[in-house]
Structure formats: structure tokens, C-alpha cells
Structure 1
Amino acid sequence: MMNDTEINDISYHASATASTMTLVNSHTVYTLNGTIRVKIVLFDHKQRPKTRGGDMLILWMRDRSKGAASAGSVTDHDNGTYTGILRILWTGQAVIRAAILCTREKMAFMHRELRKGYVICPSPKRSDGFKHPLQKGKLPEHLAVKPFLGPHGLPMSFENANRTAIRPCFVHLDEIPSGSRDIVLIHLYAHFQVFPLHVFKARMKYIRLATERLLIRSPDIKIVIKGPHYFIKHSTRNTLGGLWGPLYDKIIRQEFVSLYARVIYLDVWDMHVTGENSDVHPSEGLLKTMLRTLFGYVCSK
């Protein structure tokens, strides 16, 4: 993909409206805990069939009347066709949906520009500081919780951010005292998306080293890493969406492979796909679900 010839004509990109999705061996009724298979065939904007793979697709189904949803897996056959598999987790009805998260041509362009050392600049939006979801509401008074928000340090794509509050995540980790029993949630994602992948990879390495030091001096601390989430737009009109999400997920898993037994990884990608999350900042409903999932893990260990 990185050696693809540069294509400036967007009509050659895969088109969601021109592409098709059909059931494979369709049935009138499907069995609970069974699977549904779909075939996806991609066409470009001039309805020409795509003859190679590499486009990033997502697949999900949901029943809004029951509040039920599940994400599927997609297999790329490298010829413009894809097979999707969904597991049936509830009884009733469901609507199956698929989306093109990113075209092959767009990904190739992004990689070429970033390898040249360019930074992809979104349209800026003024910001006088940082906001955090916990600021939207109060925590229950019976919980002895004292939240602390520590911005993760540069890169930070704010126009007028409070730079005195910005310090790298690994610095915050190194300042936690010995014997701490805190719950530490680490999340790095959207602010890194306009920078080359090696920037994110290097930052995760420093965080992993700081985590190892912290676990030695505070063995009862709970360390949680929140993985990337799916979104399609950004309040600053950044068009990258969740493009790097799956790649960031792979980087985090590889970097922390030796700490799987000590660090909790909060994988929320499918949750946001099935919740049809659109903005870089998840909805209040998704935030509540993530918090319940978080405390479900930390309270069981």
C-alpha cells in the first residue's frame, strides 16, 4: 500500500453508496448464538469495481427497540470483496450496517505525507484549556473518589491550551508515591493523529517503562489503559476520524505484552462502533457505559 501510485482523482476511491452488501446463504430465521455472513463488494464513485483490497471497513448490527448491538469481523480478500461475520446475541430483529472507515488511497496518502515528515494540520478551534467528562456532572457522594485529570503532554492540538498544565504521562506516573492504591486511567489518542505513528509508539514506550517502575514501588495500584475508540468526525473539522485507531490498538498491545497480567486494557472500539459514535468525544451514554466497564474490572481484581 505504501508503494501505491499516488491517485489525485477521488472518483477512484471506494464509494459507500455504490458498493453492495448481501447476505450469504440467507435464512428467514437465524438461530441464537449462530452467525450471519455477509458479502461486501466495493465499487468506486464511477461504479467501477475495486480490484484490490486494503480499504478499512467496519460492520455491526443493532436492534434499537431492545438497545442491543454487536460488532462483526471483516475479512479482506484483496480483490475488492470482503466477508463479514456477525454473531447473533439476542432474539428479535436486527439491522445490519457496514461503513468504509477509510479508503486504501487515503491511507496511502497519509502514510506518504507523514513519512516525508509532514504534519497533517486540522482546522483549529479556539480552546482556553481542558475539559473533562467528569466535569459535566457530580460523582455520587457515597463514593470516596477524588478524580485528577493530568493532560498527557505534547503533542496537544489546542490553539490556546494551558501549557503550564501539560506534562508527559510518564512524568505523572513517576510522581505517584510508593504504596499508592490509586486507580490510574491512561488514554492517548486523538491529539496524536496528525503526527507520524512513531511519535505515538515512542510515547507508549516511555509510558510502559514508567508503568513498570510504578508497579514495583506500588504493587497494589490499578493501572488501566483505555484503547482507541471509533469516531467519524472531530469538532475541529479534522477529517482523519478513527483512521489510526486499529493501528494504535496494535501498538499498545505490543508495547504492553509483558504486562498483560498487571495492566487492564479497556478495549472500547466495538462499543463505539455499535453505538454509532460520531464525534471524537463520546456521548454521555457511552461515557457511563465505559465507566461501568472500568469499575467492573478494577473492583474485581
Structure 2
Amino acid sequence: MTRLYIDLERNIKIQYRKHANPFIMLNFYTFKEEFTIPHLIDQIAGDQHTVIIFTLGMHFRLFPINHFLRRVINIRKAIERLFLRSPETKVIIKTENTSEMNVRVEMLSDFHGYLQYLIINSMFKDMNVGVVDAWDMTNAFASMRIHPQKEIIANEIDLLLNYIC
């Protein structure tokens, strides 16, 4: 699902794309309009007024870590191609956050999430990308919610805006 916001007065365009349903959902839906993050990045020309923000995490906890690692490697390669086209484009990555542990502990535990968090930090540490560290923020707030409370989200947005501005 894609949402588009355009402010002609301030010359701002925001395009938001929500992730698809997780593979663990029992509902039927079509993959017809789904694209990977590298595919979307490759379609962006980029310039000094372009900011790309994305997050990876929770829905990959169910799969072997090598699947997540391949995803992150492909995203890194797409960002490298973007920086060759447009080095002034800003890229910001939001890490995943800690989560509740009441169901499917063996599959959805923070152990798997922490491995993914380490992979993201390691994979992008030498690149000119901003990182909104939601893992540390949710730990600092002692949050165990899969969707964090508004105070944490406000802090994430504040950090995000610091990178943009």
C-alpha cells in the first residue's frame, strides 16, 4: 500500500510504502504490487533534496538468518549504486525494536532480532547513512511492545528529523 502526500506550497513530496503482510499471516493477498527495497532504491534518481528511509526487522525473525543477511547485502548494493548516481541523497535506516515475548518465543524472540540489529549496524557502519537506533531506544524505555508507545516514536522522529535537517 502506497500513500502520497504533496505540499505544493513548500515543494514537498512524501511517498510512504507500508510493508506487505508478513508471510506468517493466514489471509490471502496478492504479491502483484510488491517490490523489494533494492528494486525501489534502484528506481530513485536521487539528489540533495531526496531522503530515503526504511526499516527491516521483525518479519524476518521467522526465517534463517542467511535469508536476512542476503536481503541486507542486496540493500547495501542498491545504496552503493544510488550513491554513485547521486552521492548527496540522504539514506536513513531505522533499526528494529525489542518486542513482546508472549507467543512463538522460539521464533520471534529478541535473540533473533538482536542478531539482525547487529547485522544492520555492521553492514552499514562504513557508509554515509543515518541510523535511527530503535533497538537502543526501546531498551532504554524498557519497552517490550511490538509497536512501541508514542514517547518512543516521538524520539525516533526527533532523531530522524535531525538527520534530515
- TM-score bracket for this pair, using the shorter chain length: 0.7 to 0.9
CA distance in structure 1 between the partners assigned to 2:146 and 2:21 by the alignment: 18
Matched, 1:249 2:117: yes
CA distance in structure 2 between the partners assigned to 1:289 and 1:195 by the alignment: 30
Match of 1:268 in 2: 134
Gap change, CA 1:217 and 1:287, over 3 Å in 2: same
Gap change, CA 1:263 and 1:296, over 3 Å in 2: same
CA distance in structure 2 between the partners assigned to 1:175 and 1:238 by the alignment: 37
Match of 2:143 in 1: 277
After superposition, the C-alpha distances for 1:135-172 in whole angstroms (9 at most, x for unaligned) are xxxxxx97935232153x79743333452232111001
Structure 2, unmatched stretches of 5+, are: 4-8
CA distance in structure 1 between the partners assigned to 2:122 and 2:136 by the alignment: 20
Provide TM-score, normalisation by structure 2: 0.80
After superposition, the C-alpha distances for 1:177-207 in whole angstroms (9 at most, x for unaligned) are 2536321112110110010000000000000
- Name the structure, 1 or 2, with higher relative contact order (CA <8 Å, separation 6+): 2
Structure 1, unmatched stretches of 5+, are: 1-129, 133-140
**Which of 10, 13, 24 is equivalent to 1:157?**
24
- Give the deviation of 1:254 after TM superposition: 2.3
Over 4 Å off, 4+ runs: none
Match of 2:76 in 1: 208
Amino acid at match of 2:62: V
Q: Secondary structure at the match of 1:243?
A: helix
Amino acid at match of 2:147: H
Gap change, CA 1:178 and 1:185, over 3 Å in 2: closer
- Give the deviation of 1:251 after TM superposition: 1.0
Which range is displaced more, 170-179 or 241-250? 241-250
CA distance in structure 2 between the partners assigned to 1:184 and 1:131 by the alignment: 15
Match of 2:6 in 1: none
Match of 1:179 in 2: 47
The structure where strand makes up a greater share of residues is 1
Q: Does the CA contact (< 8 Å) of 2:130 and 2:163 recur in 1? A: yes
Amino acid at match of 1:295: L
Provide TM-score, normalisation by structure 1: 0.46
Match of 2:99 in 1: 231
Match of 2:38 in 1: 170
Match of 1:147 in 2: 15
Aligned positions, number: 158
CA distance in structure 2 between the partners assigned to 1:142 and 1:289 by the alignment: 25
